[in-house]
Amino acid sequence: MTSSTGYLDTANLKSYAKPALRIALLAVAMVWAAVAFASGSGTGWVAGTVVTEAEMATLRADSCFIPLAIDAATAARMQGKSYRANPHIKLTDLRYVRVLHYGFDGKVHRGELVCNRRIASDLCAVMRELYEARYEIERMVLIDEYDADDDASMSANNTSCFCYRKTPGGRKLSNHALGLAIDLNPRYNPFCWRDRKGNRRVQPDNGRDYADRSKRFAHKIDRTDTAYRIFIKHGFTWGGAWRSSKDYQHFEKR
């Protein structure tokens, strides 16, 4: 805008530009929020929190259970923890999924997971069916919240999928390293095996009370369990069916 004298009237420009600038900034912020919300774990989705009844009224389940590309915010959370540069898997091979799940408190919680894109739609279908069946999962946040420490995540009974790591005590790459395996309610469904000396081992440590699978207790995965039935229906195999060791929390699809 120019004044009648032909010079730029900066005072006038300020008063004219301010509302327009505000609208432009607001539009940018809205677009940014929409992109962040739609593309990963950016603002708007705090896994581990309870969804209030008021929020449930406006939250559509359809906006969850969708495989999303790993966005910059999620990549930053994972970098140097569950993910590091390697010859086997790229971030573009992975997907981020927002999940709704019932907690042990019977309330709806926000969850999240990262998995291989090859199994992402199957895993989304499994998670949606678990939610609709009101299957109780205590906690589902990225293992990065535990600095990618599998023991810490399992002890907290955290359900998780991708983590670039070897098998416990082994030299082989875990199927979790490719995002093809998920551990469900791990404290109540521990990994049980015998070491080379024949000693019985249980992981996590606080899962020892649940290593005896002849006992009856809540959140136990066995062949009559709803989660077992749903995972198997979608082509996953169960670690509880392994012969040499038993990984009751573990489902995988290759």
Residues of this chain that bind Zn ion (CB under 5 A): 181, 183, 250
- For Zn ion, the closer of residues 74 and 175 by Cβ is 175
The residue with its CB nearest to Zn ion is 250
DSSP per-residue codes, 30-54: HHHHHHHHHHSSSTT--TTPBPPHH
The Cβ of residue 151 has, within 10 Å, a number of other Cβ atoms equal to 14
CB of 106 to Zn ion, least distance (A): 26
CB of 91 to Zn ion, least distance (A): 21
CB of 181 to Zn ion, least distance (A): 5
- For Zn ion, the closer of residues 108 and 119 by Cβ is 119
> SS3 of 13, please?
helix
- For Zn ion, the closer of residues 101 and 246 by Cβ is 246
Contacts of 56 (CB under 8 A, 6+ apart): 108
- For Zn ion, the closer of residues 59 and 232 by Cβ is 232
| Cα pseudo-dihedral 41, 119, 241, 126, rounded to 10 | 70
Please state at what angle helix 117-132 crosses helix 226-233, rounded to 10 degrees: 140
CB of 103 to Zn ion, least distance (A): 21
